[in-house]
Chain A
Amino acid sequence: MTKTDAPPMTPGVTSRRGFASSGAAALRVRFLGVVVFLVLLILVFSLLAPRFFTLDNGRSVLFTAAILAIAAAGQTLVVLTGNLDLSVGSIMGVSAYVVFDIAGGAPALQPLVVVLAIAIGAVLGFINGFLVAVLEIPSIVATLGTLSIYRGFVSVYANAQEVTVGELPRFMRDLATAIWLGVPAYVWLALVVVILVALALRFLPWGRKIYAYGSNPKAARFFGLNNAAIVLGAYVGAGIIAALAGLLLGAQVGNINSLLASGIELQVLAAVVIGGVSIWGGSGSVYGAAIGAIVLATINNGLVLLQVQEFYRLLIQGAAIIAAVAVDAVVQRRVLGATSRRRVMEVTA
């Protein structure tokens, strides 16, 4: 395979070229869009709820966003290839329960919880990737299946028992409560994961191929890329990150049952979509997804501060998702329109 820079089909990775590339422009507009949305949210909540704009509350919002942001970073990898991973919550649940159950029974293994989680995430992600990339089952069906299978596995494994707080490794519990430089440790960890994923997407061939494939799978094959390997790689990456998020969530909730993180896939996808990652693949950034997670956490927090009930939270969250996708569609059309005009001009010139 030849190393391709593939400029026309990688709008996501061309930020180095600045605004010369309309793809990068679209990405920036979209990223700015979600940042502006977040700022507006903060403004509105600050005006309505006096306790909203305080250091303490900000810290609290970031803490509740941290795990969602990590899971969204993993999901971004898959969404960039134009696929979905609906099994993210089940992977988190399997990882948290199985790893902490093993570590609880064998204290010698406690230092290895991260390694165990990575191994579980890689295997479950590989299964997803195999179904989607090799067997070519549409990702929504394949991962809906594994959502059920992985959850079923942890249900059978757990046999209706709980891993209780006392069984968790001390250092993981301490991590959940740690404050580093005035900010919860989980927030720093989320920041590290998001930056690492962003750097990997930008500088590693693995990451650049994900963007290339997502923008135009047919062209990617034409350029000699191994499409199945790219999708498989994205799912393995997403699986590992989901498993790590599950590990952190397990340490955070303390008492872990087989239902941990069930249903979280909708929140994760919402964060990714609100954050401007195109569900058609190939465009969007992991930073956007992280901001998307903060947007959701901010909405949840602000509505509790305003004493608004749960049902309205779901309504508002749904509206935010649709608004985000609508904005996406408009931006894309504008950019496409602009590029095609320019092409026409170039051709006529």
Chain B
Amino acid sequence: MSSITRRGSRIWKGAAALVAGALLLTACSSTPPSAGGDDAAAGGEDVKIFMAPKFTGLAYFEVAREGGEQAGEDLGFTFDYIGSDKPDATEQIATLTNAIPQAPSALVVSAIDGDAVAPALKQARQQGIKVVTYDADAAVDARDLFVNQLSYELAAQTMLDAALLNSPEGGQVAFISASPSAPNHTAHVQIMKELIDTDPKYSSFSYIDTVQFAGDDAQKSQDIALNLIQANPDLKVIISSSAVSAPAAQQAIINAGLQGKVFATGFALPSSVKDFIESGASAAFALWDPAELGYVASVAAYQLATGEIKGEEGETIDAGDAGTYTIGKDGEILYDKPLMFTAENIGDYDF
């Protein structure tokens, strides 16, 4: 082989590697920020709000995003949706850190790990950026407000009510959470255990103490569900706060031919459980309206950014048709509108 052709091929290979590298880089930042509200900045004030879900690519957060975009149109602020498509705290920290130099007026964040993202959020607040959490809270001193979809108590009650609709005679319950660092999931399970121990309404239930973690992964949720069923012959209901795990566990039950004997329930998008409920495999799943939650959180962020509210206890937020909310202790706003999906109403929901 002559040295010229060898060099030529080496250059070509180098170029190809560069192209591959460039492709890789584009793929890493594969979620372009949406320009949803660009045309709606009619208010004249340059309010720019970034919404950062736990991670992009999940239908639940996409519905919440629609609410945020709607708020942008209604109130006339620029709305952007930012995030990584990997369910990983490090990725979210990078997303938030990169957002700060773009100087948004406010961040609306669902924290994948409430403590891990706190330093990034505090840094944002030091730059004068208002921080509102929704769906999953961060450390209290890292944000101005938290729009809580359901108080942890109400969430726990709602899931147990859904469990009772599936298994009216009660029975043994097992829990699947996303991760031990998801504060809302941990609190839900803790309160459900307490309710089963103390509330006569739920005294027909007993529970398996060990909580399993499936990291919002459908396949892992299924494997865990199957293994839980094998481990506990008396298992009646699998409950999960994860909108991925709950339907996946129900599908695993159907796959194993155990529908009607074991049930999975918890929080899930109506579109992903419609088939289970219509076919009678499941009697009930629960959730809230993520779009309205995203709307309320974005309105709260807007009012903080414009100085209409300071984020102090007792102030009210008027979100129009979505309702009026009062700021409670520790900057918490309770949205508190649970939805129970059953055979009667599942056809009414389109998200």
Verify that A and B bind, or say they do not. Answer: yes
Set A131, A135, A255: member contacting B251, Cβ < 8 A: A255
CB-CB contacts below 8 Å: B194-227 with A = 208-213, 216-219, 222-224, 226-227
Tell me which of A153, A161, A165, A308 has the highest count of chain B C-beta atoms within 10 A of its own C-beta. Answer: A165
Residues of B within 8 A of A179 (CB): 257
A169 touches B (CB below 8 Å) = no
CB-CB contacts below 8 Å: A133-165 with B = 135-137, 142, 145, 148-149, 151-153, 155-156, 158-162, 164-165
**Hey, what's the 0/1 contact readout for B293-335 against A, CB within 8 Å counting as 1?**
0000000000000000000000000000000000000000000
CB-CB contacts below 8 Å: A259-278 with B = 259-264
Q: Are A304 and B231 within 8 A (Cβ)? A: yes
B58 touches A (CB below 8 Å) = yes
B190 touches A (CB below 8 Å) = no
What's the least CB distance linking B253 to chain A, in Å? 10
Task: Name which residue of chain A comes closest to B25, CB basis.
Answer: A148
What's the least CB distance linking B79 to chain A, in Å? 16
What's the least CB distance linking A196 to chain B, in Å? 24
Q: Are B13 and A135 within 8 A (Cβ)? A: yes
A283 touches B (CB below 8 Å) = no
A176 touches B (CB below 8 Å) = yes
Given A145-B20, A160-B56, does the pair A166, B28 have CB atoms closer than 8 Å? no
A253 touches B (CB below 8 Å) = yes
Q: Are A60 and B230 within 8 A (Cβ)? A: yes
Residues of A within 8 A of B31 (CB): 155-156
Set B87, B230, B274: member contacting A301, Cβ < 8 A: B230
Residues of B within 8 A of A256 (CB): 218
Bound CA span A262–B213, Å: 16
Q: Are A155 and B57 within 8 A (Cβ)? A: yes
Bound CA span A136–B211, Å: 46
CB-CB contacts below 8 Å: A220-253 with B = 249, 252-253
A57 touches B (CB below 8 Å) = yes
User: For this complex, into which size category does the number of interface residues on chain A fall?
Assistant: 35 or more
Set A135, A158, A159, A257: member contacting B218, Cβ < 8 A: A257
Given A156-B30, A253-B219, A259-B87, does the pair A165, B256 have CB atoms closer than 8 Å? no
Residues of B within 8 A of A177 (CB): 254-257
Interface SS majority for chain B: helix
Q: Are A135 and B16 within 8 A (Cβ)? A: yes
Tell me which of A67, A166, A254, A309 has the highest count of chain B C-beta atoms within 10 A of its own C-beta. Answer: A254
What's the least CB distance linking A208 to chain B, in Å? 29
Q: Are B57 and A259 within 8 A (Cβ)? A: yes
Task: Name which residue of chain A comes closest to B251, CB basis.
Answer: A254
Q: Are B57 and A300 within 8 A (Cβ)? A: no
Residues of B within 8 A of A297 (CB): 223
Bound CA span A250–B86, Å: 19
Residues of B within 8 A of A137 (CB): 16-17, 20
A63 touches B (CB below 8 Å) = yes
Q: Are A160 and B59 within 8 A (Cβ)? A: yes
Q: Are A165 and B59 within 8 A (Cβ)? A: no
We find that the number of chain B residues with CB closer than 8 angstroms to chain A is 57
Q: Are B226 and A60 within 8 A (Cβ)? A: yes
Given A64-B223, A257-B244, A304-B224, does the pair A151, B27 have CB atoms closer than 8 Å? yes
B11 touches A (CB below 8 Å) = no
A218 touches B (CB below 8 Å) = no
Q: Are A160 and B13 within 8 A (Cβ)? A: no
Set A135, A145, A253, A258: member contacting B222, Cβ < 8 A: A253
Tell me which of A145, A160, A308 has the highest count of chain B C-beta atoms within 10 A of its own C-beta. Answer: A160
CB-CB contacts below 8 Å: B16-73 with A = 16-17, 20-21, 23-24, 26-28, 30-31, 56-59, 61-62, 65
A51 touches B (CB below 8 Å) = yes
Residues of B within 8 A of A255 (CB): 218, 244, 247-248, 251, 272
Task: Name which residue of chain A comes closest to B281, CB basis.
Answer: A165
Task: Name which residue of chain A comes closest to B254, CB basis.
Answer: A177
Set B230, B251, B269: member contacting A57, Cβ < 8 A: B230
Tell me which of A63, A137, A152, A300 has the highest count of chain B C-beta atoms within 10 A of its own C-beta. Answer: A152
Bound CA span A258–B57, Å: 6
Bound CA span A131–B28, Å: 18
Residues of A within 8 A of B57 (CB): 155, 158, 160, 257-259
Bound CA span A341–B47, Å: 79
Residues of A within 8 A of B229 (CB): 60
Q: Are A145 and B61 within 8 A (Cβ)? A: no
Task: Name which residue of chain A comes closest to B30, CB basis.
Answer: A152
Bound CA span A283–B66, Å: 53
Bound CA span A263–B224, Å: 16
Given A51-B231, A152-B27, A257-B244, does the pair A165, B85 have CB atoms closer than 8 Å? no
What's the least CB distance linking B297 to chain A, in Å? 18
Residues of B within 8 A of A301 (CB): 227, 230
A41 touches B (CB below 8 Å) = no
Query: Could you list which residues of chain B lie within 8 angstroms of chain A, going by C-beta atoms?
Result: 13, 16-17, 20-21, 23-24, 26-28, 30-31, 56-59, 61-62, 65, 85-87, 208-213, 216-219, 222-224, 226-231, 233, 244, 247-248, 251-252, 254-257, 269, 271-272, 274-276
Query: Could you list which residues of chain A lie within 8 angstroms of chain B, going by C-beta atoms?
Result: 49, 51, 54, 56-57, 60, 63-64, 67, 131, 135-137, 142, 145, 148-149, 151-153, 155-156, 158-162, 164-166, 176-177, 179, 249, 252-264, 297, 300-301, 304-305, 307-310
Q: List 8 A-B contacts (CB under 8 A).
A: A64-B222, A149-B23, A162-B272, A164-B274, A165-B272, A252-B219, A253-B222, A310-B213
What 9 A-B pairs come out closest when comparing CB atoms?
A: A152-B30, A152-B27, A304-B227, A254-B251, A160-B62, A253-B218, A149-B27, A145-B24, A166-B275
Beyond the given pairs A64-B227, A149-B27, A253-B218, 4 more chain A to chain B contacts, judged by CB atoms under 8 angstroms and listed by A's residue number, are A135-B17, A254-B218, A259-B216, A304-B228
